[in-house]
Amino acid sequence: MILRAAISGKTQNASTADVSAIRDCVEVNLIGLVQTTTTFLPLLRASPQAVILNVSSGLASDTWLASNAPLLQAISYSTSKTAANSYTIALAQELKKEGIKVNAATPGVTSTKLNNYHPAGKKARQGAECLLPWALIDKSGPTCEYCCDALFETFILVLYRPNF
């Protein structure tokens, strides 16, 4: 199961944040992900080789954000995606004993509707190819991992800034 639905929300400062914009992002990027997971979990449990892939973002990494101050204005998006990473960790730990693999991975900056088709992004197919190995892991594959091509994200985002 690949969970990828997300919205980017509006760019704003933390100190003057419009709470309704944050709430909208949390609703889709976190609550939607949790709700879909709990709804489909019974079906996944019936599968001999269940895999959950939460599509994350470089902007979900607190470590990465702390060293990239110019990008901190995507707070609706980043806070909701960071919370989704937190949920992913908890779910991965809980489902470990059942053999269900749960990971988070990011496609890297990709030219899609989410960022108004940012001209510096990868093509959608290239972004999807970054995610594919994480969707196709087998029983011996990793769980509770976060895969992010941080170097690529930094290069593109610092140079071009998000286009939200």
Ligand X SMILES: NC(=O)c1ccc[n+]([C@@H]2O[C@H](COP(=O)([O-])OP(=O)(O)OC[C@H]3O[C@@H](n4cnc5c(N)ncnc54)[C@H](OP(=O)(O)O)[C@@H]3O)[C@@H](O)[C@H]2O)c1
Contact footprint for ligand X (CB under 6 A) = 4-7, 28, 32, 55, 57, 106-107, 109-110, 112-115, 121
Report the nearest approach of ligand X to the CB of residue 53 (Å).
10
State which residue, 113 or 139, has the beta carbon closest to ligand X.
113
Check if the beta carbon of residue 100 is closer than 8 Å to that of residue 139. no
At 138 the three-state DSSP class reads coil
State which residue, 33 or 95, has the beta carbon closest to ligand X.
33
Q: Tell me the one-letter amino acid at 10.
A: K
For residue 55, give the nearest of 93, 1, 122 by alpha carbon: 1
At 81 the three-state DSSP class reads helix
Per 3-state DSSP, the chain is made up of helix, strand and coil in percentages (nearest 5) of 55, 10, 35
Report the nearest approach of ligand X to the CB of residue 48 (Å).
27
Report the nearest approach of ligand X to the CB of residue 99 (Å).
25
Which residue is associated with the tokens 């980017």?
8
Report the nearest approach of ligand X to the CB of residue 55 (Å).
4
State which residue, 82 or 110, has the beta carbon closest to ligand X.
110
DSSP-assigned letters across all residues of 91-123: HHHHHGGGT-EEEEE---SB-SGGGT--TTSBP
At 2 the three-state DSSP class reads strand
Report the nearest approach of ligand X to the CB of residue 152 (Å).
10
State which residue, 17 or 28, has the beta carbon closest to ligand X.
28
For residue 113, give the nearest of 8, 22, 30 by alpha carbon: 8
State which residue, 50 or 104, has the beta carbon closest to ligand X.
104
Enter the tokens of residue 51. 């895999």
